[in-house]
Amino acid sequence: MKEEKGITLIALVITIIVMLILVIVTISVAFQTQLFDKAGEGAQKWKNAQDTENNLDETIQHGGQTGVDNIVNYYNNMITNPTT
């Protein structure tokens, strides 16, 4: 008799069930830890930092010494009045 090698239907079904359980647990943990909310907050903070950097670049390019003074004042203000 020829020996057949391969995956059985039962093994395939068990594998799919285990994978579904892992997906359900992963999604549950992601929502419980507010992972998506924190990712959104991080993206917004990154966007704000990028906008600030672009504004400072514009100030430097078009402001001359006044622009440099504005940057120094901006960072001094950030140090004395930090925001969250």
What are the residue boundaries of the structural domains of the chain, listed by start?
9-80
Question: Distance between CA atoms of 84 and 41, rounded to whole angstroms?
Answer: 12
Helix (H, G, I), strand (E, B), or coil: what is residue 6?
Answer: coil
**Neighbour-count burial of 39, counting CB atoms closer than 10 A to its CB (0-12 exposed, 13-18 middle, 19+ buried):** exposed
Question: Distance between CA atoms of 61 and 22, rounded to whole angstroms?
Answer: 53
Mean pLDDT of the chain: 83
pLDDT band at 21 (very low <50, low <70, confident <90, very high): very high
Which pair of structure tokens corresponds to residue 79? 């140090």
Question: Distance between CA atoms of 61 and 72, rounded to whole angstroms?
Answer: 15
Mean pLDDT of the 59-75 span: 70
pLDDT band at 47 (very low <50, low <70, confident <90, very high): very high
Top pLDDT among 24 and 37 is at 24
Top pLDDT among 67 and 73 is at 73
Q: Which residue has the tokens 């901006």?
A: 74
pLDDT of residue 64: 58
